[in-house]
Amino acid sequence: MNRAQLSPDLQNLRASLPDLLGTLQANPDWYVSIYLEKKSGLNFSANLRQTQISDSFSTGVVLRVYDGYSLFEQASDQLDRASLQREAERLVKRVRDSKPDAAAQKRPYSAPTWQERLSMELDPEIRSQIPANVQAKTPVHFGIAFEKDPREISTETRIAHLKSLLSRAQELAPQAGLENGELSFVLVRDTVSTEESIFVDGESNLSQSLIRIARTVVLMSGSERSAERIGGMGGEEGIELTDAKLLSMLKELKGVKNALPLAPGRYPVILGPTLSGVLAHEAFGHSQEGDTCARGRSMAWDLFHSGEKVGNEHATILNNPAIYKNGEEKIAAWGSYFFDEEGWISQKQVLLDQGVLRSPMTNLTSALRLGVPRSANGKRESWAHGVYTRQTNTYFSAGTKTLDDLMAMMGDGYIALHPAGGMEDPKGMGIQVGIQFLEEVKNGKRTGRVFKGPSGGHLQMTGYVPDVLASIVDKSKIEADSKTPDAVEHPFNDAGGCGKYHKEIVHAGCGGPYMYMRDVLLG
Amino acid sequence: MNWEISDLKAKLKSQTEILGWVLNEENTHRFERYFMKDQKAFATDQDREVRAQTLDLRIFVDNGKPGRQGEITKRLHRGAPLDIQLSSAIAAAQQTDHQRWTLPTEIPSSLPERKSFDPSMVEDLKGTLDRVTEQVTAQAMKQRSTPFHSSELFLSVHERELHLSSGLTHRSKNTRAYLEAAFSFSDGKRADEYLSTTWSVDADGLGIEQLFDECSERAKLTLDTEKPLAGDYWVLLDSDVLTSIFSQTLPQLSGRMEYLSLPHKKKGDSFIPDARGDLLTIRLDPTLDYAAGTTTLSDEGLLQRPMDLVKNNQVVETSLDHQHASHLGRYATTSNGTWVIETGSKSRDELIASQDQVLEILQFSGLFVDLNTATFSSEIRLATLHDRKTGKKRTIKGGSMSGSLFENFKEAYLSNQAVKKMFVDYGSAHGYYGPDYALISQVSVAS
């Protein structure tokens, strides 16, 4: 197994950062830190008309001062020493010129030492990369593990492979019942990016190199669509696309073309892993984001204190940026990393334990405002954006049943596998989970009939979160097709994205087991 | 290791494999402030300043295939050697395969001035930030019947330079302002909130007092609500929803969709089949003052002019950039601008009074619009059910609504007041100038 190494240019930059800390530390009461990020990626795509490539690059530094009242950041992509020094001086002046509200409460902060960090429960993938006798100034590097480096595959080879997948989709179309010409649009896209970051404060000097890889397939017939994105953090081995998968997508497309409109109402439904993850993400993912709690915008904070139950015994939701083997896949989950963008090391966290809320996820300022422990959830869209409390991989804990068991328990109902967005309502506790289409189940077996929304579009599952979480009947194992005990530790988390207050788009994984739910309101 | 644009242009001109190029340089200066109520204090949780520079190069190369060419879009890094970046881009582009086309050779001789930025933000961004911060602080601290929770304020200036292989160089500026506010309401046992957000080209366009007032008033409505009865409704949509629906479905009027065999409308089609009620007239206008789509030139160097796309529900033109016009064997039209929808004849109150029951959407939870099927759906976050017979108004929360542009706008009625709206989605700004309300028919509500 290989591990991603830090780029040489970042190694050079890293050496200059401790000096800048000295400039930022103009007041001994301040907590100062530096976050440096470099993202470079290639996007290869092929459709029936053309093949194309885009090559993206972004690098920038965020100089940070927390004065006990506010977090001040100065962000720039000018990384030469003189520019960094100038930006540091600008930031110091800005902080000195600021005047907190006279009624504001001061909440000082000091960074944890390595001794404190190592006393926490850490995943072996993390612990094994921390040098023995680590000290505040010891450079500590974390690299994602991979078998086959996707960055070493030539452009020619990758484009040829994408074109072969296009051809294969067309060849397999008749097997799915699609006639000649019915497959009107096919797109196959590979994205390979390297995401590196450095975090330095008075107690630590961290770096990480991650490889994000994804393969997207879109099949269309007229306005109907079947789409899939597979991927995660690691090597090329994470995006293998088999003929069986392509054929399954083509059959879905054929099904969607003949879909019937569902009459609005309440139905028994089995949510697939991705959709159970979207439910987790929207239900007590967003409302358990510490900054939303600190702003007084989440009911979860009140319910955490009251201890009131908001779900049944199956309602256990976790957030975990430390999933380095995603379900049965060969690579790490999409929302994983080793430390967040404020230097906090990744750990698994239970957000909802059998219907009872636990402490929220946090970034630095929300942890201080709420007086709760920090977690590794300080994330931003890029170095040019602000840091918020954000989810990483959010999922329900696994159950004990197989998928066949759940379908037999349900008898008649629907199975929903493909998401179409979602939306939270942390204060009002409403929820919206978008579903592309439903497959009918009769007598515990799939009938092959497909249903879409009442207007021919996506369906929306809505409701009051505590009611929805009280309606979980049972959950599957992680390896839902096998009766033997799960051999893997974490449920599968799909590759997704997440917005905060309608903007600030970040990568997020969401997943879990299959979940059988009764009385699901669909429209 | 830094190099200049002139070095890059010289290199591009000297490479014989390169058939053409488009270079976009953008300098961004942005301030962000996150405010919140911290017990009795009005606290600044975060205060940020950002300076960024991007350089995006698109090159077209000979890939050795007749009638075809290669292409790549690459973000260049000024800290890395130019030769290596350029040679790797050319080599990668040569592996790709596109129908051949060339950039327009004619350079517009005189370019009109268009109001695409707020001069006060360009001249003094920090001063504007402090001025707007004072206004936001005053509104947040104002005594109201519902408590203020948090607010975010972003102001940015974007200065761009477009360089084309045809010899054209064009400088332009944009400004962006974002404001949000959240208020809650509690009766001691239950609590709910309302979040208002707005984007604008100019700081004064944020409408700070109106946004805070509306947010506070709507927060007060959130507890005295009931669920809707399931069924089909006449639904009144506001301009925020119309902006979202139109900006995400009108790309069906673009030649790019036609070229890729994606769902599209063609010249001569009925935009909405069997439409009655107010027939839609739609224009793409890049000339409006302080609107999201205001621009002078496309990235291909073509002067952008106002253009009618749909007249009384008939598609009269499609939006075609030069590339896709070349592929389809047609002339390029306008490809950038603000979507302009012609207003109708009735006021909001007249639209509500026109039916026995009207469900007026105040806010959706998350409106998802599908470009391909032109369908949309969302949970209802807050709505008012107007009943003409009883004269009563009930506040609605919950349930979901699903609709279709091509079905539920068949019988639609548009209000007689036009408003300008902007929203930014995944970094792209969308503009709308049209009726402040539309009444649409037979919309399915689940509850």
Instruction: Name the residue among A181, A394, A452 with its Cα closest to residue B404.
Output: A452
Contact A146, A153 (CB under 8 A): no
Same domain, A431 and A480: yes
Structurally, chain B folds into a number of domains equal to: 2
Same domain, B183 and B117: yes
Q: Is B9 within a domain?
A: no
Q: Is B318 within a domain?
A: yes
Query: How far is residue A410's CA from residue A473's CA, in Å, rounded to a whole number?
Result: 9
Residues of B in contact with A434 (CB under 8 A): 366, 368, 377
**Predicted pLDDT at A432:** 96
At B184 the three-state DSSP class reads strand
Final residue in a domain of this structure, among A258, A291, A319: A258
Query: How far is residue A362's CA from residue A100's CA, in Å, rounded to a whole number?
Result: 23
Residues of A in contact with B137 (CB under 8 A): none
- Give the chain A residue nearest B98 (alpha carbons): A50
Instruction: Name the residue among B303, B269, B291 with its Cα closest to residue B174.
Output: B291
Contact B307, B320 (CB under 8 A): no
Contact A493, A326 (CB under 8 A): yes
Residue B188 pLDDT class (50, 70, 90 cuts): confident
**Predicted pLDDT at B2:** 79
Query: How far is residue B343's CA from residue A353's CA, in Å, rounded to a whole number?
Result: 53
Same domain, A191 and A281: no
User: Using one digit for the tens of pLDDT, what is the confidence trace for A50-85?
Assistant: 999 999 999 999 999 999 999 999 999 999 999 999
Same domain, B148 and B206: yes
What are the CB-based long-range contacts (under 8 Å, 24+) for A180-183? A182/A221, A182/A257, A183/A219, A183/A220, A183/A221, A183/A250, A183/A253
DSSP per-residue string spanning B199-231: EESSGGGG-HHHHHHHHHHHHHHSSS-BPPPSE
Same domain, B264 and B199: no
Express as a percent the part of chain B with pLDDT over 70.
100
Looking at the predicted structure, is the pLDDT value of residue B445 above 80?
yes
Q: Is B284 within a domain?
A: yes
- In Å, what is the CA distance from A9 to each residue of A37, A152, A341, A502, B344? 12, 19, 19, 35, 60
Looking at the predicted structure, is the pLDDT value of residue A216 above 70?
yes
User: Using one digit for the tens of pLDDT, what is the confidence trace for A232-278?
Assistant: 999 999 999 999 999 999 999 999 999 999 999 999 999 999 999 99
Query: How far is residue B252's CA from residue B250's CA, in Å, rounded to a whole number?
Result: 5
Tokens encoding B35: 């405010």
Residues sharing a CB contact under 8 Å with residue A263, sequence separation 6 or more, in sequence order = A454
Final residue in a domain of this structure, among B170, B198, B221: B221
Q: How far apart are the first and last CA of chain A?
A: 48
Region for A403 from its dihedrals, namely left if φ exceeds 0, alpha if ψ lies in -120 to 50, beta otherwise? alpha
Same domain, A275 and A227: no
Looking at the predicted structure, is the pLDDT value of residue B59 above 90?
yes
User: Using one digit for the tens of pLDDT, what is the confidence trace for B207-266?
Assistant: 999 999 999 999 999 999 999 999 999 999 999 999 999 999 999 999 999 999 999 999
User: Do the chains contact at B152 and A501, CB–CB below 8 Å?
Assistant: yes
Same domain, B257 and B188: no
Tokens encoding B376: 């949309």
Please give the angle made by the CA atoms of B175, B180 and B181, to the nearest 5 degrees: 150
Same domain, B371 and B415: yes
Task: Return phi, psi of residue A265, to 5°.
Answer: 165, -170
Residue keyed to tokens 């911290």 = B38
Contact B214, B198 (CB under 8 A): no
Which residue range forms the structural domain that includes residue A495?
260-522
b/e map A172-207, b = 16+ CB within 10 Å: bbeebebeeebbbbbbbbbbbbbbbbbbbbbbbbbb
User: Using one digit for the tens of pLDDT, what is the confidence trace for A19-37?
Assistant: 999 999 999 999 999 999 9
Q: Is B198 within a domain?
A: yes
Instruction: Name the residue among A361, A396, A417, A407 with its Cα closest to residue A491.
Output: A396
A356-357, strands of its sheet edge to edge: A356-357, A349-353, A317-319, A393-396, A503-511, A493-500
Please report the residues numbered 321 through 360 in chain A whose beta carbons come closer than 8 angstroms to any beta carbon of chain B.
none
Instruction: Name the residue among B244, B163, B208 with its Cα closest to residue B431.
Output: B244
Q: Is B8 within a domain?
A: no
Query: How far is residue A211's CA from residue A192's CA, in Å, rounded to a whole number?
Result: 7
Looking at the predicted structure, is the pLDDT value of residue B425 above 90?
no
Query: How far is residue B372's CA from residue B168's CA, in Å, rounded to a whole number?
Result: 36
**Predicted pLDDT at B277:** 95
Report which residue type is found at A13: L
Same domain, A250 and A295: no
- Residue among A105, A155, A220 minimizing CB distance to B92: A155
Same domain, A304 and A319: yes
Average of per-residue pLDDT values in chain B: 96
* Environment class of A112 (CB within 10 Å of its CB; exposed 0-12, middle 13-18, buried 19+): middle
Please report the residues numbered 368 through 427 in chain B whose beta carbons come closer than 8 angstroms to any beta carbon of chain A.
368, 370, 372-379, 381, 397-404, 407-408, 424, 426
CB atoms within 10 A of CB B10: 11
**Predicted pLDDT at A500:** 86
Q: Which of A462, A468, A502, A521 to mutate to test the interface with B (most CBs of B within 10 A)?
A: A462
Residue keyed to tokens 């006279």 = A102
Residue B190 pLDDT class (50, 70, 90 cuts): confident
Tokens encoding B125: 């961004």
Same domain, B202 and B253: no
User: Do the chains contact at A224 and B373, CB–CB below 8 Å?
Assistant: yes
Same domain, A55 and A82: yes
Same domain, A361 and A337: yes
CB atoms within 10 A of CB B376: 27
Query: How far is residue A256's CA from residue A266's CA, in Å, rounded to a whole number?
Result: 21
Region for A495 from its dihedrals, namely left if φ exceeds 0, alpha if ψ lies in -120 to 50, beta otherwise? beta
Residue keyed to tokens 């902060």 = A109
DSSP state of B269: S
* Environment class of A22 (CB within 10 Å of its CB; exposed 0-12, middle 13-18, buried 19+): exposed
Average of per-residue pLDDT values in chain A: 97
Looking at the predicted structure, is the pLDDT value of residue A39 above 80?
yes
Residue B1 pLDDT class (50, 70, 90 cuts): low
Q: Which of A16, A38, A39, A57 to mutate to test the interface with B (most CBs of B within 10 A)?
A: A57
Same domain, B202 and B287: no
- Residue among B38, B48, B366 minimizing CB distance to A104: B38
Q: Where are the alpha helices (DSSP H) in B185-321?
A: 208-221, 239-249, 255-259
User: Do the chains contact at A297 and B34, CB–CB below 8 Å?
Assistant: no
Looking at the predicted structure, is the pLDDT value of residue B426 above 80?
no
Same domain, A304 and A192: no
* Alpha carbon of B437: minimum distance to chain A alpha carbons (Å): 21
Report which residue type is found at A187: L
Structurally, chain A folds into a number of domains equal to: 2
Same domain, A350 and A475: yes
Which residue range forms the structural domain that includes residue B402?
231-446
Same domain, A240 and A271: no
Task: Return phi, psi of residue B134, to 5°.
Answer: -60, -40
Report which residue type is found at B34: Y
What is the complex's ipTM, to 2 decimals?
A: 0.96
Same domain, B66 and B168: yes
Same domain, B51 and B138: yes
Q: Is B93 within a domain?
A: yes
Q: What residues are paired with A432 via a beta bridge?
A: A423, A462
Final residue in a domain of this structure, among B221, B255, B286: B221
CATH of the domain at B141: 3.30.2290.10
CB atoms within 10 A of CB A96: 11
Final residue in a domain of this structure, among A210, A232, A258: A258
Same domain, B51 and B196: yes
User: Using one digit for the tens of pLDDT, what is the confidence trace for A92-132?
Assistant: 999 999 999 999 999 999 999 999 999 999 999 999 999 99
Query: How far is residue A323's CA from residue B415's CA, in Å, rounded to a whole number?
Result: 52
* Alpha carbon of A424: minimum distance to chain B alpha carbons (Å): 8
Tokens encoding A57: 């690059």
At A109 the three-state DSSP class reads coil
Q: How far apart are the first and last CA of chain B?
A: 63
Residue B56 pLDDT class (50, 70, 90 cuts): very high
CATH of the domain at A50: 3.30.2290.10
Final residue in a domain of this structure, among B221, B242, B276: B221
Residue keyed to tokens 């290639």 = A42
**Predicted pLDDT at A407:** 98
Query: How far is residue B334's CA from residue B321's CA, in Å, rounded to a whole number?
Result: 7
How far from the centroid of its chain's Cα atoms is residue B396's Cα? 28
CB atoms within 10 A of CB B442: 16
Same domain, B140 and B252: no
Same domain, A94 and A182: yes
Final residue in a domain of this structure, among A239, A258, A277: A258
User: Using one digit for the tens of pLDDT, what is the confidence trace for A126-169?
Assistant: 999 999 999 999 999 999 999 999 999 999 999 999 999 999 99
b/e map B258-276, b = 16+ CB within 10 Å: bbbbbbbbeeebebbeebe
Contact A386, A291 (CB under 8 A): no
Query: How far is residue B404's CA from residue B426's CA, in Å, rounded to a whole number?
Result: 23
Contact B162, B22 (CB under 8 A): yes
Query: How far is residue B222's CA from residue B318's CA, in Å, rounded to a whole number?
Result: 43
Contact A467, A504 (CB under 8 A): no
Q: Is A497 on the interface with B (CB under 8 A)?
A: no
DSSP per-residue string spanning A309-378: --S-TT--EEE-S--SS-TTSSSB-TT--SB-TTSPBP--EEEEETTEE-PPB--HHHHHHHT----S-E
Most distant CA pair in chain A, distance: 73
Same domain, A239 and A273: no
Q: Is A51 on the interface with B (CB under 8 A)?
A: yes
Same domain, B99 and B71: yes
Query: How far is residue B47's CA from residue B67's CA, in Å, rounded to a whole number?
Result: 53
- In Å, what is the CA distance from A386 to each residue of A492, A500, B33? 29, 11, 9
User: Do the chains contact at B43 and A420, CB–CB below 8 Å?
Assistant: no
**Predicted pLDDT at A434:** 97
Query: How far is residue A97's CA from residue B388's CA, in Å, rounded to a whole number?
Result: 58
Q: Is B344 within a domain?
A: yes
Query: How far is residue A24's CA from residue A19's CA, in Å, rounded to a whole number?
Result: 9
